[in-house]
Amino acid sequence: MAVRVEAINDLGGECLYVHLDVKSEESWASAISETVNRFGKLDILVNNAGVASFFMLEELSVNEWDRVMDINAKGVFLGTKAAIPEMRKAGGGSIVNISSISGFTGQSYVSAAYNASKGAVRIFTKSTAIQYASESIRANSIHPGPIDTPMTAFREGDPAAIAASIARIPLGRSGVPDDVAYGVLYLASDESSFVTGSELVIDGGYLAQ
């Protein structure tokens, strides 16, 4: 992580790394405090932490359900709750929540807990957007399809799994992190100043079928 921070700073950016447990209200308070102390304000929040789960429903334990919901859904709630007071002080802000195409549709190859957590993020984002629009605090969700990240690395070495995944995507390839990052950049920026409560699907056409 230190190497990434140095790389950003070397390129002319200004980066601060703060360890954060998204399941902890205290950890969120500390991270936001450090951020505001360093940069003077907080006007952008990207809730990006997430875990996958692949159990069939009858194999799904309560502990696994809680793990997925705590990180994927509770983490978004706690981050948003902690950020809003500072965004209010800043005169507004943009919250970008990373959901998934799994927040739109059920899938046989992921856990019901994962679908439920991403669906929760989707509707939570809309609720946030409506409640805080009058304070110029926007909230939008992004819904990626299959993206080549460590979360999908389990497919490496399994050509059949990779082929099956790509077969579901009209554009014929998995996404890469930059595909999602550019969507985040748009929703975090003033170019999307009239966009709130919306869902940006980045899935190569998966949901268009």
Residues annotated catalytic, as ranges: 114
Region of 83 (left: φ > 0; alpha: ψ -120 to 50; beta: rest) is alpha
DSSP one-letter string for the chain:
-HHHHHHHHHTT---------TT-HHHHHHHHHHHHHHHS---EEEE---------GGG--HHHHHHHHIIIIIHHHHHHHHHHHHHHHHT-EEEEEE--GGGTS--TTS-HHHHHHHHHHHHHHHHHHHHHGGGTEEEEEEEE-SB-SGGGGGGTT-HHHHHHHHHT-TTSS-B-HHHHHHHHHHHHSGGGTT--S-EEEESTTGGG-
In angstroms, rounded to a whole number, what is the distance separating the alpha carbons of residues 74 and 72? 6
